[in-house]
Structure 1
Amino acid sequence: MVTIYDIARAAGVAKSTVANVLSGKGKVSEATRQRVLYYARELGYRPNLLARNLSQHRTFTVALILPTIANPFYPEIMEAIEHILRQRDYQTLFCNTHGDFALGRQQMERLMSRWVDGYIIMGSSMDIADIAHYFRQGVPIVLCDWQENESPSGIPQVTVDFFRAGQLAAEHLLALGHRRIAVIVDEPQQHLRLEGFRTTLRQAGLELPPDRIALGDSSLESGYAAARQLLSVGQELAPPTAIFATNDWMALGAMELVLDRGLRVPEDVSIVGLDDIVVSAHLRPPLTTIAIPKTRLAQEATELLLAQIEAASQEQGRELPPAGEGTDGAAQRQGVTAPLRLVPPSLVVRQSTAVPASP
């Protein structure tokens, strides 16, 4: 591997001169600078970025830990985060945990041994107790789109106003005239969506009977099975004219079941999802959904994380003990990050919803 010593010898200058040219520091004549750069190119010099970055107390690498890439929502977030970080000269590592907390803990330990600067952790991918443990050690962490049944204290978090998302879905279906409405929900992780939806129905004088709530696990298959339950023959209640699925993937499964039954969307059953994944706009019919602004979610999470990384780097640059070795790293970063940032959702009306065929 070519070193600055090789360049100095070829250019006939001191090693310190080469170092100044390559780092952009010090006073070097233009002729000397051009000669050094010429020999650096000719010899195929590649700077040791790891050594340089470690001298700045960072590696410019961020890890994104998520539950699965099987749901298209997560790859869309991954792409947005990677794009934003690349503009800041950061590399991104991605890890799936498949909802396995033990695997999440193992992934975290491996990443920490690779000098990752910080972590964006998405909902259901790790045990919150493990995350809190690492955060208390001074590890820069941001929770992104965290599950709605947990309110982790002190850890910076960026999420969506899911209660409002549920309200938007209910308001849309009520405005169309639907009164027999059902829900497919992944409980308890998505309870705010359900509560927002249920509250809006109640304010309109409608209750959401237990028979009109079916459980899913955020997968397409579970949406299919839940819709079959809701439309099954022999229910005491008349079949619903509309279904709200608390993510698009389950909504797609529900739509498939409705079509397999020989029914029409939206003439017989209107369907609303939540996420606005790319494929939702290209179905037949295109899916009405509650959109999550993924780029803004990624931007907010990245800003919070980079602020923590910068603060941690400055603290280590003052020769304080490394985070996690006798210091309260979380306390060092107080005031650097806001505890919670809420991103507003929006309604996207497409052709999967319409006025009900029957009163």
Structure 2
Amino acid sequence: DVATLAGVSQSTVSRVLNGANETIPIGEETRQRVLEAVEKLGYYPNLHAGSLRGQKTLMIAMMVADIANPFYHPMVRAVQDAAHANRYDVMIANTDHMRDGEMHFIESVIRRPVDGVIMVPYHLTEEDFDYLIRRTGVAVVALGQHIHHPTVDTVYGDDDEMVAAAITWLIREKGHRRIGFIGVTSSYSAGARRRAAFLEAMRQAGLPIYPEMFEIGDWSSASGEHAMQVLLGLSHPPTAVFAVNDLMAIGAMEAVQNAGLRIPDDVAIVGFDDIPPATWVRPRLTTVAQHPAEMGRVMAAALFERLRGDYSGAGRGFEVPCRLVVRESA
């Protein structure tokens, strides 16, 4: 297609893209036509196809949603440790929770050969996984309950059950009836699952669900602070708030304290993740603890089983259980 659009032979396209210009010089006008055709068609050379059959790159690629979020630090470290033990290097990519970033990662893996991929996707579809695997043939391991692909191994926590357990605990043990929710847009599967678990727990307890008690953030502490300010401005504000991650919960705590209110006496706050800052803030944050280091170890183990040829079957699921950690914020 590139050759046809540029009006040159396929060998000329190959020489331009591979930088071969010594034996038979390529005119600048011809080179520019080829490069313009490449850009117009969105063509990426598949370096996997050019590598020797059976040759390993000794490189894996890892995609995370937000490298600045402390939740991912032990996960990345666990994957790197496992990679080094197997004499592999790791290429890390950050997506900022954006679909464009996730697709850019896929195209990068297509252009730059790796032996396997570990990812934390929020927006990728089954078709996107098909595209990646079809173009590269690499083994893929992903984090998240929402991923259903016949050849992709998945690692996930039981966050649905633990969100419901946390809300039920607030209701039965602490007597809360007006519970606010700080979530994210429904395009984020993890946020959507946690919202659904929150709603189900409220329904099971026979409590009313007030639309004004739901605020949307973007996983950041600043968005959690803003969401909490809105909730505190209600004529009947919540007596407890659940946030779908710790960063937003910590931001919510700051809003409560800046308003001159006490935690948990005036407003109890519960987060999700149990990142290190959850124990640095005062009062310390009650949260649902995930285990990112263990998730990283399990993902790496599953990937290297495939890379060594120890397993080549259908996609598998590995659950890493969560737990409720009660501290002073609730």
The two structures have a TM-score, normalised by structure 2, of 0.76
Structure 2 distance, partners of 1:196, 1:106, is 32
Is 1:345 the counterpart of 2:322 in the alignment? Answer: yes
1:221 aligned partner, one-letter code: A
Q: Using the TM superposition, give the Cα deviation of residue 244 of structure 1 relative to its aligned residue in structure 2, in angstroms.
A: 0.5
5+ residue gaps, structure 1: 1-53, 315-331, 354-359
- The alpha-carbon distance between structure 1 residues 167 and 333, as it changes in their structure 2 partners (threshold 3 A), is same
Q: Which residue of 2 aligns with 1:139?
A: 138
**2:277 equivalent among 273, 276, 279:** 279
Q: Using the TM superposition, give the Cα deviation of residue 56 of structure 1 relative to its aligned residue in structure 2, in angstroms.
A: 6.5
Provide the secondary structure at the position in 1 that maps to 2:194.
helix
Q: Using the TM superposition, give the Cα deviation of residue 303 of structure 1 relative to its aligned residue in structure 2, in angstroms.
A: 1.8
Q: Which residue of 1 aligns with 2:18?
A: none
Instruction: Say which is worse superposed, 127-136 or 185-194, in terms of deviation.
Output: 127-136
Structure 2 distance, partners of 1:103, 1:210, is 32
Q: Work out the percentage of aligned pairs sharing the same amino acid.
A: 33
- The alpha-carbon distance between structure 1 residues 310 and 57, as it changes in their structure 2 partners (threshold 3 A), is farther
1:199 aligned partner, one-letter code: E
Q: Using the TM superposition, give the Cα deviation of residue 164 of structure 1 relative to its aligned residue in structure 2, in angstroms.
A: 1.0
Structure 2 distance, partners of 1:113, 1:121, is 17
5+ residue gaps, structure 2: 1-51
Q: Using the TM superposition, give the Cα deviation of residue 127 of structure 1 relative to its aligned residue in structure 2, in angstroms.
A: 5.9
Matches within 5 A, 1:228-239: 228-233=229-234, 235=235, 238-239=236-237
Q: Which residue of 2 aligns with 1:243?
A: 241
Structure 2 distance, partners of 1:181, 1:78, is 34
Structure 2 distance, partners of 1:115, 1:124, is 23
Q: Which residue of 2 aligns with 1:209?
A: 210
Q: Using the TM superposition, give the Cα deviation of residue 125 of structure 1 relative to its aligned residue in structure 2, in angstroms.
A: 6.7
Q: Which residue of 2 aligns with 1:308?
A: 306
**Count of residue pairs the alignment pairs up:** 274
Q: Which residue of 2 aligns with 1:220?
A: 221
1:236-295: per-residue Cα shift (whole Å, max 9, x none)?
xx2111100010011011001001111111111110000000111111111010000112
User: Is the radius of gyration larger for structure 1 or structure 2?
Assistant: 1
Q: Using the TM superposition, give the Cα deviation of residue 66 of structure 1 relative to its aligned residue in structure 2, in angstroms.
A: 1.4
Matches within 5 A, 1:45-194: 57-124=55-122, 129-137=127-135, 138-144=137-143, 146=144, 150-154=146-150, 155-174=152-171, 175-188=173-186, 189=188, 190-194=191-195
Provide the secondary structure at the position in 1 that maps to 2:83.
helix
- The alpha-carbon distance between structure 1 residues 157 and 268, as it changes in their structure 2 partners (threshold 3 A), is same
1:19-65: per-residue Cα shift (whole Å, max 9, x none)?
xxxxxxxxxxxxxxxxxxxxxxxxxxxxxxxxxxx896323221111
Q: Using the TM superposition, give the Cα deviation of residue 110 of structure 1 relative to its aligned residue in structure 2, in angstroms.
A: 3.1
Structure 2 distance, partners of 1:265, 1:346, is 22
1:166 aligned partner, one-letter code: V
Q: RMSD of the TM alignment (CA)?
A: 2.4
Q: Using the TM superposition, give the Cα deviation of residue 141 of structure 1 relative to its aligned residue in structure 2, in angstroms.
A: 0.8
Q: Which residue of 2 aligns with 1:266?
A: 264
